[in-house]
Amino acid sequence: MSSPILCYSEKNFTSLCDELAKRDADLHKIILRHGYPSPWVRPNTFQTLVLSILEQQVSLAAAYAAFDRLRKKIGLVTPKKLMALTDAELRDCYFTRQKIVYARGLAQAVISKQIRLRNMEQLSDQEVYEQLIPLKGIGPWTIDVYLMHALRRTDQFPLGDVALVNSLKKVKRMRPTVSKERMLTVAAKWKPYRSIAAFILWHAYMQEKGTRISH
Whether residues 141 and 202 share a domain: the answer is no
Number of domains in the chain: 2
Would you state the pLDDT for residue 213?
A: 53
Question: How many other C-beta atoms are found inside a 10 Å radius of the C-beta of residue 59?
Answer: 12
Buried b (16+ CB within 10 A) or exposed e, 166-203: ebbbebeeeeeeeeeeebeebbeebeebbbbbbbbbbb
Residue type, 80: K
Whether residues 22 and 107 share a domain: the answer is no
Would you state the pLDDT for residue 23?
A: 96
**In this model, does residue 83 exceed pLDDT 50?**
yes
**In this model, does residue 214 exceed pLDDT 80?**
no
- What CATH number is attached to the domain comprising 87? 1.10.340.30
DSSP per position, 155-185: ----TT-HHHHHHHHHHTT--TT--HHHHHH
* CA dist., res. 66 & res. 95, Å (int): 7
185-212 confidence digits (pLDDT tens): 999 999 999 999 999 999 999 898 776 5
Whether residues 77 and 92 share a domain: the answer is yes
161-173 confidence digits (pLDDT tens): 988 999 999 999 9
* CA dist., res. 121 & res. 205, Å (int): 29
Would you state the pLDDT for residue 59?
A: 83
Check residue 173 and give left, alpha or beta (phi > 0: left; psi -120 to 50: alpha): left
Whether residues 78 and 120 share a domain: the answer is yes
Whether residues 184 and 141 share a domain: the answer is no
Whether residues 50 and 141 share a domain: the answer is yes
Whether residues 33 and 125 share a domain: the answer is no
Whether residues 102 and 125 share a domain: the answer is yes
* CA dist., res. 35 & res. 31, Å (int): 4
Question: How many other C-beta atoms are found inside a 10 Å radius of the C-beta of residue 136?
Answer: 12
* CA dist., res. 121 & res. 124, Å (int): 8
In a domain, 170, yes or no: yes
In a domain, 162, yes or no: yes
Question: What DSSP designation does 39 have?
Answer: P
Structure-model confidence comparison of residues 127 and 210, the more confident one? 127
Would you state the pLDDT for residue 131?
A: 96
> What's the rounded mean pLDDT across residues 117-138?
96
In a domain, 8, yes or no: no
Structure-model confidence comparison of residues 1 and 112, the more confident one? 112
- What CATH number is attached to the domain comprising 204? 1.10.1670
Whether residues 32 and 106 share a domain: the answer is no
Domain boundary (149, 169, 187) is at 149
Residue type, 103: A
Q: What residues make up the domain containing 192? A: 13-40+156-209
Domain boundary (99, 123, 149) is at 149
> What's the rounded mean pLDDT across residues 57-82?
95
**In this model, does residue 115 exceed pLDDT 80?**
yes
130-179 confidence digits (pLDDT tens): 999 999 999 999 999 999 999 999 999 999 898 899 999 999 999 999 99
Mean pLDDT taken over the chain? 94
In a domain, 183, yes or no: yes
Whether residues 57 and 140 share a domain: the answer is yes
* CA dist., res. 180 & res. 214, Å (int): 28
* CA dist., res. 55 & res. 39, Å (int): 19
Domain boundary (149, 164, 194) is at 149
pTM: 0.91
Would you state the pLDDT for residue 211?
A: 62
Whether residues 185 and 122 share a domain: the answer is no
In a domain, 133, yes or no: yes
In a domain, 175, yes or no: yes
Whether residues 100 and 166 share a domain: the answer is no
Angle formed at CA 91 by CA 132 and CA 108, multiple of 5 degrees: 30
